[in-house]
Chain A
Amino acid sequence: MTSANPLESTASTPSTPSTAPEASAVKRRANRSYTLITGCAVAGLIVLLALVSFLWLPYAPDDTSGGRLAPPGADHLLGTDKLGRDLFTQVMTGSRIAVEAGLGSVLIAATVGVTLGVLAAFAQGWLDDTLSAFLDILIAFPTLLLAMLIVAARSATLESAILAIGLAQSAVVGRVVRVLVKRVLAQDYITAARTSGTSWLRITAGHILPNIWPTLVVNLALQFGLAVLAEAGLSYLGLGAPPPNASWGGMLQEAQSTFTTAPAGALAPGILLVLLVIGVNLIADGLRDTLDPAARGRGV
């Protein structure tokens, strides 16, 4: 894993402190969180693959000149699939699709989920009940069915898959946010802020969002991993990104019949999928350690 070394340095740059006195504290926190660094390195490797795929690919995605099921070698790093397409090229476009699916879904889940969650927390009586019931129904509604409905209404594209996953996750995020906000609302400092005549908008921006932020970020990071998995599942079923841009799920599906003779076609996307999800989960774990105000309060 020598290629991971330059990534480790990029991974730690965002936390570079801006002010001198806080530097040591931030550094200590970062040091404490090896999980965060490992996670950034692992997930960063795949993000790097995705970024490079925009600029350069070994072969064109629809180039079938490689010969059927060629074994890994100098020409084709991971070999070719049964149509003669380069597997490494597919793995690269697949990582792009996976990262896009994760980011897109989380973006939708964060926007819709936080809005609904905050509304439900502030609402009382029937409005709270209605919103909560709506979120519950959305959680219970199978993501697969939702995806099929959206694909039927639009078409089988990556965007449809992202929309379906994002909406399904909005419900989960909304549920979490509602509880988090309710817990903050019960705190005395909210009452104190209301007493001193602070408006609800200011209370939300100044007190509520910063206080739910650490938990929310960790939750969103976990949702990213789940979204990547969900997208792979949808494209395995043919509800994701259409060819020639192969997604990992699609690759797994295609390699299924030839797994015993040419395992690389299934192993490559499978391993990367696992790596990305583990990496993102490690980031979530590390973020929890560094962002949790209680853990920070225990300060070394």
Chain B
Amino acid sequence: MNILELHDLTIRTTDGRTLVDGLSLALAPGERLGLIGESGSGKSLTSLAVLGLLPAGMTASGRVVLAGAPITGASERELTGVRGRDAAIVFQEPLTALDPLMRVGRQIAGPLGRRRGLKGTALRQAVTAALEQVRLPDPERVARAFPHEISGGQRQRVALAMALACEPKLLIADEPTTALDVTVQAELLTLLDTLVRERDMALLFVSHDLAVVAKIADRVLVMRNGRAVETGEVREIVGAPREEYTRELVNSARRLESALDLRSGR
């Protein structure tokens, strides 16, 4: 059984614009799919629709099935049960992903306590363990810190720890490395790769950066203007793109790479 299935997902605004148009995809347990496209292509909306988290003024039609449970048309109460247990999400901007007025430890303790029914010392240990597992040095200090007291990369690790706290079967990562420095970006990708492998999670990785997606995903789905342009194994898409738009994407990514080669060769 697939962990996630989208059948003909269409997202419209109340004033009639179509933002995602008839998107279908399926994700098997442990599979990694990269959702790639430029801004406004509907890739982030798709990832929000998977959890029933569309902003006000947008409606989804078609079918979204997450771990066997229908998401489209489900009530808020049903959704609250599904979210976190089956799927969790990591956002692009690590600063807004954490409550600026709450110590990091307490933010992780929330879902941990609810999911596993932990309290007191056991909860504190679980929080430390959660921070350790995302390779944060000195987890006890980080747990006591406010979000603005740690670096962007550390914040993103904390956000990752929060998402993993509920042991989801599917992790949705919405441009998780875009706001980070290149070196930190590479570290975080490696960490994400390890964690997803260790836990045998499925991964839906949303990005505009083909190089990043190629590093982390098995399959790629290219989106443009709310429609799926092309889908396939990373190797096929990068090696032999069939569609014009995909070819452009690949070429521009290549040009950047070759600029680096040229300069270093000189």
Contacts and interface: CB of A to CB of B under 8 A. Distances in A.
A50 B53 CA distance: 53
Given A195-B84, A196-B165, A207-B102, A187 B96 contact: yes
Interface string B149-182: 0000000000100110110000000000000000
A198 B108 CA distance: 12
B111 A210 contact: no
A199 B93 CA distance: 23
Interface in B166-224: 166
B111 A196 contact: yes
B84 A206 contact: no
B81 interface: yes
A206 B91 contact: no
A193 interface: yes
Residue among A193, A195, A197, A296 with the highest chain B CB neighbour number at 10 A: A195
A211 B85 CA distance: 27
A58 to B, nearest CB: 48
Majority DSSP secondary structure for residues of A touching B: helix
Interface residues of B, number: 33
Contacts of A202: 110
Interface of B: 48, 51, 53, 56, 80-81, 83-85, 87-89, 91, 93, 96-102, 107, 110-111, 114-115, 146, 148, 159, 162-163, 165-166
A293 B100 contact: yes
Interface residues of A, number: 21
B98 A189 contact: yes
Nearest to A213: B101
A16 interface: no
Contact of A124 (B56, B87, B98): B56
Given A197-B84, A293-B100, 8 more contacts: A188-B96, A188-B97, A189-B96, A189-B107, A192-B89, A211-B100, A296-B148, A297-B148
B53 A195 contact: yes
9 closest Cβ contacts across the A-B interface?
A196-B111, A297-B148, A197-B84, A196-B84, A188-B91, A188-B97, A188-B96, A189-B99, A210-B101
A192 B51 CA distance: 11
A194 interface: yes
Nearest to A197: B84
Contacts of A195: 51, 53, 83-84, 87-89, 163
Residue among A196, A210, A296 with the highest chain B CB neighbour number at 10 A: A196
Contacts of A198: 80, 110-111, 114
A189 B91 CA distance: 9
Nearest to B82: A197
Contact of A199 (B80, B89, B98, B111): B80
A207 B101 CA distance: 8
Nearest to A190: B99
Contacts of B56: 124
A191 interface: yes
Residue among A124, A189, A199, A296 with the highest chain B CB neighbour number at 10 A: A189
13 contacts: A188-B97, A189-B96, A191-B91, A192-B163, A195-B83, A196-B110, A196-B162, A197-B80, A197-B111, A197-B114, A197-B166, A198-B111, A296-B148
B84 A188 contact: no
Contact of A192 (B80, B81, B97): B97
A30 B96 CA distance: 28
A188 B89 CA distance: 10
A206 B83 contact: no
A90 B88 CA distance: 65
Nearest to A125: B56
A196 B161 CA distance: 12
A187 B56 CA distance: 14
A162 B101 CA distance: 34
Contacts of A188: 91, 93, 96-97
A138 B138 CA distance: 53
Contacts of A293: 100-101, 148
A277 B147 CA distance: 36
Residue among A197, A198, A210 with the highest chain B CB neighbour number at 10 A: A197
A189 B84 contact: no
A210 B159 CA distance: 20
Given A124-B56, A206-B110, A297-B148, A196 B100 contact: no
Contact of B53 (A124, A187, A194, A197): A194
Contacts of B97: 188-189, 192
A196 B88 contact: yes
A189 B106 CA distance: 13
A139 to B, nearest CB: 24
B146 to A, nearest CB: 8
Contacts of A199: 80
Given A197-B81, A197-B85, A199-B80, A192 B91 contact: yes
